[in-house]
Structure 1
Amino acid sequence: MKHYESLAGGSGRSVYYRARRLRAAEVFSSELAVARLDGRPVQIENLSMSGIALIDGDANADWSERAGDSVPVEITLGGETAFSSPGLICRVEEAARGQLVGIRFVDDFLDMAALIRRHEQLLLKFDLDRPADVELEAVPGAYRTLCADVIHLLRRQKALLARFRVRANGHAPIPPEDMEDAYRACEAGLLRDWKTLWQRGEDIVGAFAHDSVQVRAIKRFTEQVLTPEFMDGPIWQRSFEKPLGYPGDFKIMRMVYAWAREGKDPYGQLLHRLGLEVAECIATRMVLVQQSIAETIRRRAKAGEVARIASLGCGPAKEVQNILQASRLDGAAAFTLIDQEEEALAHAYEEAMPNLARLGGQASVNCLHLSFRQLLSGRAVAEALGPQDMIYAVGLVDYFRERQAQRLIAGLYGHVEPGGLLMIGNMADSALSNYWPMEFIADWNVIYRSREEMQRLAADCAGAEVTVRPDRTGRVWMLQLRRPDAA
């Protein structure tokens, strides 16, 4: 039991109470809830009794000059006004999906309980009033057939494994090597057939990628019919449920790097293996980064200098761990790891420490905890980073619109020393991309780019030597910007 004198209060800014904020995804269905800011359609990011954060996704929108203005805010549910009040623009920030505008209500407050209750009533009515056949009409017949074929493939493998165990147990205990042989046979057949179905999925949904209404209908159908079948696979479950609140967290990266058999039973392990197949490009892009780190260390060692290397959105920083685990380094290195997840930084630092001690000061690791918005603004990064010989971000720019990505990349390039390298990874818009399995089955949404779109990201980096190359899978582009050596 705690005593009153042991109870801690707030510190710093947390001394000042703020009304509890809820993310829009926790509260609303995007089909029913619509927000308008000064008459413009916007997306709700989060909201509380006293304020709301809205995203204006229009690439031409600019709210930066309107801080301090009072503007009308309206929320409608099912076409009916649920809240309307003037609000004061308190802040404007760049966000992944557009400009984020923070609003404080002036003469009213948002009754969160009443708003949520009304939304749930409307959502139930909306779902009950919508005939199932009408919902199905929006889903192409070829896609429904694909989902049936995927479920048939998965359940066939499940039945084969179960039948083998039942038959063998009826006569004698199953030796571990026999169960292993059965698993490997099922795995080989499953991977072969999965690639064919994956390509079919890409071909079907790719035709509707620019039709947001069609995409929503197909996603809704997928999450009702197909996604539940994959939830026994740990990597699929974590990707879909997003326990840390965002996709692609560092524990998913660790699953890919470990490439281990995970799952509560052989069927779950097979599903996990399919997820690893989809996510293989996470590991292959890491290898490319690791090779560039090693080359950077060697290059700076020839000049008798420490290689300064920074990673944005570092996650578990597996490439750094691999470098540090070598029996010896080719030169000295100072790593700066930046991430929005404190647990990811703790893992990366704890993994690095034994090797840092063994290397006797030849390498160092500094960790910086910066939010997604701080990374995007560039200000916090600029303050934290000095000149670097290599900067890389391989799982970050995929979430940024083109202009935002260009600004971030230009800012990072400004920190690259002569002869240094900036390396940016992004999911590729390729024939067999991750679009269908990631976005439709796992609800993991990123921006897929072509080679030309990758080259455009370097538009503001004058003088840079720009190359774009694919990883081994062809599902990730690596944009490399080399600053020319000083004359």
Structure 2
Amino acid sequence: MSKTYEDLSGAAGKARFFRPSRFEASEIFGGNPPRLVFEDETYDLHNISARGAGCLNRRPTDDEPAKAPGEHGLLRLTQHGRELFLGTARKARADSGSGIVTTGFELESNRFDLDWLIRENASILAREARTPVELLEPPIAYKTFCADAAAFLGSYLLRVQKFVGPIEGRLSEAERNDIARDLAASAETGWLDLVQEGNALVGDIHNEKQRRIGYKSYTERTVTQMLLAGPGWARCYFKPAGYPGDYKIMNYGYEQKPEGAGVAEKFLHLLGMSASRAIITRMEMVASLVCDYANDRRSGNGDEFTITSVGSGPAREMEDILSGTPDDVRWRMNLVDQEPAALDYAFERIATMPDRDRLNVTGLNISFREMLRPSPDNAAFMNNDIIYSSGFVDYLNPLLAQRFIKRLYDFVKPGGQVIVGNVNNLSTGMIWPLEYITDWTLYFRNEEEMKAMAREIPDAKVSVISDPMEAVYFLVVEKPAS
């Protein structure tokens, strides 16, 4: 039954104050948004509306202080040195968290013409030619490998085009999913062989910056372009959340389900997920280590263990932790993440778990840098049995990683453990699909580099173990019991 105008309630609270629609910059600008310049400060554009823009920047805390919120000045949008917009604006806000500075700008007398900006930005990108001297071209062996990878993908996409394309409009969603699954299963062995070959080819040059840039550029111009129709590949590459590894990408890896409109998109997505199953084994491994700790130390008298997950994401491991420990074991859990949406998702999922009553969960939307500083807020982390981080230290340079591990170690009680997962640099890992195909930059560490993260903790028992796929190492740092 339709409602009368008297029945329509409108919005409540702050939502009553209308704001123009806001769009993710990476999405509407095809993965290459313009830069935002406010007076003499340069920012990475994250989202935009007709009236303003939001920016995300990773900025060390000891940088020169930026202009304070409330200041007025000239705002420009530029692409490859060409000016797309010039107008006056006010810095409306600036917040720091998780090593990221979030800044908002409000236009004063102008408006962004988004349709024109999108077209002009695309036109500049299309016209701008990269000169060959800027890059070190990879050797013929790597180019041949990329050609083989492209031909492999092309052979399957051709099958879809020839045999499925003429009838795809008559297929149901379930039928499209089934065909995509069959194709991905057929291609999986060959694709994983190519991934291992790619890992081996880039492993020797990865630490040479100029060569790495050249290899990455060539890979993006060849292999990446064939994969971007797959939703998982596109999200990893374009990073609509402003950074890689957001919780939606993690959920793609956990769920291993077809995504996309057509069979080709679904097939490419599933192919990408086959190479990311280490996300699952990493989650299962950290859950197993936590369960082993609790099962070895439980008294059988209703024990409670306190654990903290840093960079928790969707916190899928909690189901395995609950199922892997007896019914009388209870858990006090801190989930720490920079992404509020990830915490929302985790809490909603935890609320549906059968053993939810054994779990007391606290969510903390704070910066890892805040964890490094002495603060009353850090009392929540004291006397943990285990603090673990499955995929966060991968983003930290060696010195910062050492500081971070030492800080986590300070938070665990005697006999407690710090458990940290990090992608490795082996041919069995994910260095080629992550870094070279999707521009997902991480520290791919070897066993000695893992141990080096605990170098500043001389009294600890330190070990490094691998997940079953030999794609992720785990550093386990145990504090001596008192």
TM-based fold match above 0.5 = yes
Distance in 1 between the 2:179 and 2:138 partners?
39
Are 1:395 and 2:394 counterparts? no
Shift of 1:232: 3.4
- The match for 1:144 is 143
Letter in 2 for 1:346: D
After superposition, the Cα gap between the structure-2 partners of 1:92 and 1:455, relative to the gap in structure 1 and judged at 3 Å, is: farther
Instruction: Please report the TM-score for the alignment, with normalisation by the length of structure 2.
Output: 0.72
**RMSD between aligned residues:** 5.1
Shift of 1:287: 1.3
Distance in 1 between the 2:458 and 2:94 partners?
31
Per-residue CA shift, 1:394-435, capped at 9, x if unaligned? 111111111211122111111111111110011111134312
Q: Is the 8 A contact 1:349 1:365 kept in 2?
A: no
- The alignment partner of 1:343 has SS state of helix
- The alignment partner of 2:433 has SS state of helix
Distance in 2 between the 1:226 and 1:375 partners?
35
- The alignment partner of 2:298 has SS state of helix
1:59-208 alignment to 2 at 5 Å?
A: 63=63, 128=127, 130=129, 138-160=137-159, 184=182, 186-208=183-205
Per-residue CA shift, 1:339-361, capped at 9, x if unaligned? 2222222222222224366x6x4
Distance in 2 between the 1:283 and 1:143 partners?
30
1:30-69 alignment to 2 at 5 Å?
A: 63=63
- The alignment partner of 1:340 has SS state of coil
Distance in 2 between the 1:78 and 1:44 partners?
14
Letter in 2 for 1:145: T
Distance in 2 between the 1:431 and 1:112 partners?
50
Q: Is the 8 A contact 1:300 1:331 kept in 2?
A: no
Q: Is the 8 A contact 1:341 1:369 kept in 2?
A: no
Count, aligned residues = 456
- The match for 2:361 is 366
Q: 1:440 aligns with which of 436, 440, 459?
A: 436
After superposition, the Cα gap between the structure-2 partners of 1:34 and 1:318, relative to the gap in structure 1 and judged at 3 Å, is: closer
Residue ranges of structure 1 left out of the alignment (5+ in a row): 12-20, 69-74, 84-89
Residue ranges of structure 2 left out of the alignment (5+ in a row): 16-21, 69-75, 87-92
Q: Is the 8 A contact 2:231 2:265 kept in 1?
A: yes
- The alignment partner of 2:378 has SS state of helix
After superposition, the Cα gap between the structure-2 partners of 1:24 and 1:267, relative to the gap in structure 1 and judged at 3 Å, is: closer
Percent identity over the alignment is: 27
Shift of 1:27: 9.3
1:153-302 alignment to 2 at 5 Å?
A: 153-160=152-159, 184=182, 186-302=183-299
Per-residue CA shift, 1:449-472, capped at 9, x if unaligned? 111111111122241110011111
Distance in 1 between the 2:286 and 2:330 partners?
18
Distance in 1 between the 2:305 and 2:143 partners?
53
Q: Is the 8 A contact 1:53 1:101 kept in 2?
A: yes
Q: Is the 8 A contact 1:308 1:390 kept in 2?
A: yes
Shift of 1:271: 2.0
- The match for 1:306 is 304
Letter in 1 for 2:330: A
- The alignment partner of 1:279 has SS state of coil
Q: Is the 8 A contact 1:301 1:330 kept in 2?
A: no
Letter in 2 for 1:209: H
Q: Is the 8 A contact 1:300 1:306 kept in 2?
A: no
Question: Which shifted more, 303-312 or 132-141?
Answer: 132-141
After superposition, the Cα gap between the structure-2 partners of 1:343 and 1:410, relative to the gap in structure 1 and judged at 3 Å, is: same
After superposition, the Cα gap between the structure-2 partners of 1:180 and 1:418, relative to the gap in structure 1 and judged at 3 Å, is: same
Distance in 1 between the 2:239 and 2:246 partners?
8
Letter in 2 for 1:241: F
1:344-423 alignment to 2 at 5 Å?
A: 344-355=342-353, 361=357, 363-371=358-366, 374-378=367-371, 379=375, 382-423=378-419
Q: 1:465 aligns with which of 454, 461, 464?
A: 461
- The match for 1:453 is 449
Q: Is the 8 A contact 2:46 2:242 kept in 1?
A: no
After superposition, the Cα gap between the structure-2 partners of 1:164 and 1:331, relative to the gap in structure 1 and judged at 3 Å, is: same
